[in-house]
Amino acid sequence: MVLRLVIWNLADSQTNIGELRRYLRDEAVPAFEQVPGLLFKSWFADEVGERWGALYVWESQEASEQQLPSRARELIGKNPDIVEVFDLEATVSIARQLARLGLAFE
């Protein structure tokens, strides 16, 4: 399993967190619910620090490399400042489908 972390600095972007929240509600969340191989995605924000990002958990490296239904780059006006990919070691969750995932349990 693969974990991907993506972060933007919005200080010099074309949008703000309020607009990005509307984008999540109206477009992104419904679109990402249909992405094959995506086990979990969360979006996060730091309004004071003007940062926006997402954390993905993918079932495989191949799934993590597919084209995504995202307009975040377009709305923000640039590529993410940080994109990091990690092996997923372990998870804990009250949601059964997300509990005990990762290399530690293979």
Q: How many domains in the chain?
A: 1
Whether the predicted model's global pTM rises above the 0.85 cut: yes
pLDDT of residue 32: 97
Identify whether the C-beta of residue 10 lies closer than 8 Å to the C-beta of residue 50.
yes
Domain of residue 9, residue span: 2-105
pLDDT digits (tens, 9 = 90+) for 78-100: 999 999 999 999 999 999 999 99
Strands of the 38-46 sheet, one edge to the other: 38-46, 51-58, 2-9, 82-87
CATH label of the domain that carries residue 84: 3.30.70.100
